[in-house]
Amino acid sequence: MSIEVIKPGLATTIQDAGRSGHYHLGIPPSGAMDQVSMRSANLLLGNPEAAAVLECALMGPELRFHDTLRIATGGAQMVPKIDGVACPNHEVIEVPAGSVLSFDFVRAGARLYLAVEGGFDVPERLGSRSTYALGSLGGLEGRPLQAGDRLKVLSAEYCADVGRSLPESLRPVYHKQYELRVVPGIYDHRLTPEARERFYDELWSVGSEADRIGYRFKGGTPLEFIEREPPFGAGDDPSNIVDACYPIGSIQVPSGSEPIVLHRDAVSGGGYAMIGTVISADMDLIGQIQPHQKVRFVPVSLQQALTARAEYQQRLQGLRQALV
C-alpha cells in the first residue's frame, strides 16, 4: 500500500511520539509538537496511539492514494477534501483507491495531524520514526516530504468504522491570543527587576520564523540584563553564559531583544541565559499558535506546573477511555 505525494505542503514531516533518552548526546526528542492531537487521530482509527502520522504545518499536502485506506485528522482546523469534496475533521473517513486527498487553508490552529490506518511505514531510528530534519534523522530520508515521494503504510490490526468521530467535548478550541505558563529561572536573576516585570506584563507576537526548533516572539520591550564582568568561557553579549544544557521549553533572549522558546527539535545546549521554562502541559499549545498571534507569559510555581502536568495526563487518559 502506498500514497504518492503530489504537493508536499509547507513543512510536512512524519512524526510519532518522539525519541527520548538521547538529548544528552545532542539528539532532541522530535516527535509531534502537539502530542494530544497526534494521539487523538491515531486512536480514532484504532491505531497504536503513537503510530507515525503526517504533521502538516499551516498548509496541508496533496496526496494520491493508490489503495483504499481509512484516515483521520487531529489538531488544526484544515478541512480535508477527497477529489475536491469537503470531509469532516476528527472523523474516520475512507479515501478510495485513485482518489486525491487535499486540504483547505488553515482556519484555526497551526498543525494538522493526518493518521492513516496502520500508520506510516518508515524505519525506526533510535526507537522512533520521527523526522529530525536538522540532523537528517528518521522520517522519510530525514527530511520533510517532497513532490514525488511514495509513502508506505503498515498493515492495520484493527479497522475503525467510517464515521467514528471525536466527541465535541474533546475537540481542540483555538483562539488568537494565549497565555503560556512559565517556571522562572534558572538565569532570570540576570535580568533587571524592571525587565523581568515587563517580560510578564507585555504581549508578545509570534514571529514568522517559528518552527519545530523554536518559537521566536517579537513586539515586546527589549530586556535589560544586569551589567557584570563576563565569566571565563562566556561571550560578550549581555545574555551570554558559560555553556549550559537547554531543557525543551526553555526561554532564551539573545541580546535581550526577542525571546525564543525551544521546542522538540531544539539544540541541547549553548551559551544563552534561560530566563524561564514553559511548562510541559503548555508545549502542545505552542505548536498550534500561528505566526503573528499574541502571547502573554505567566509565571507559575513548580507546584503549579506539576499540577498542570497531572491535569494534562488526566485529559490524555480521558481521550484514551473515550476512543479505545
Same domain, 144 and 193: no
Residues 151 and 218 in one domain: no
Residue type (1 letter), 160: A
* C-alpha to C-alpha distance for 49 and 163, rounded to whole angstroms: 19
Residues 55 and 131 in one domain: yes
pLDDT at 158: 85
Residues near 65 by beta carbon (within 8 Å), at least 6 away in sequence? 3, 95, 96, 97, 98, 99, 100, 101
pLDDT the model gives residue 159: 80
CB-CB contact of 205 with 292 (8 Å): yes
Query: In sequence order, which residues have a C-beta less than 8 Å from that of residue 208 and are 6 or more positions away?
Result: 291, 292
Give the pLDDT of residue 228. 85
The reply to whether 245 and 223 lie within a common domain is yes
Beta bridge mates, 237: none
Look at residue 322 and tell me if it is in a domain.
no
Instruction: Please check whether residues 49 and 77 belong to one and the same domain.
Output: yes
Q: What is the pLDDT of residues 97-148, one digit of tens each?
A: 999 999 999 999 999 999 999 999 999 999 999 999 999 999 999 999 999 9
Residue 229's pLDDT is what? Answer: 85
Same domain, 125 and 240: no
The domain in which residue 51 lies consists of 2-170
Spatial neighbors of 295 by CB under 8 A, at least 6 apart, are 177, 178, 179, 180, 203, 204, 205, 206, 217, 289
Q: Is residue 136 part of a domain?
A: yes
Task: Identify the domain boundary among 125, 153, 170.
Answer: 170
Omega cis (within 30) before 260: no
Q: Are residues 162 and 17 in the same domain?
A: yes
| Single pTM value for the model | 0.96
Tell me what pLDDT residue 141 has: 97
Same-domain check for residues 278 and 242: yes
- The helix/strand/coil state of 270 is strand
Look at residue 198 and tell me if it is in a domain.
yes
DSSP line for 27-80: ----S-SSHHHHHHHHHHHT--TT--EEEEESS--EEEESS-EEEEEEEEE--E
Question: Which helix (H) or strand (E) is 252 found in, with range?
Answer: strand 250-252
Q: Give the chain's domain count.
A: 2
Residue 234: inside a domain? yes
Place of cell 503498515: 154
Tell whether 321 is covered by a domain: no
- Answer whether residue 320 is part of any domain: no
Q: How far is CA 92 from CA 41, 165, 181, 192, 239, in A?
A: 9, 6, 34, 53, 49
Which pLDDT score, from 0 to 100, does residue 236 have? 83
Residue length, the chain?
Answer: 324
Burial of 268 (0-12, 13-18, 19+ CB in 10 A): middle
- Per-10-residue mean pLDDT for the chain, 324 residues long? 94 97 95 98 97 98 97 98 98 97 97 98 98 97 98 92 96 96 94 96 96 97 90 85 94 93 96 96 98 98 98 97 90
At residue 273, the pLDDT reads: 94
The reply to whether 65 and 144 lie within a common domain is yes
Residues 236 and 300 in one domain: yes
Tell me, what DSSP letter sits at residue 121?
Answer: -
Q: Do 160 and 207 belong to one domain?
A: no
Instruction: Return d(Cα 38, Cα 25) in angstroms, integer.
Output: 26
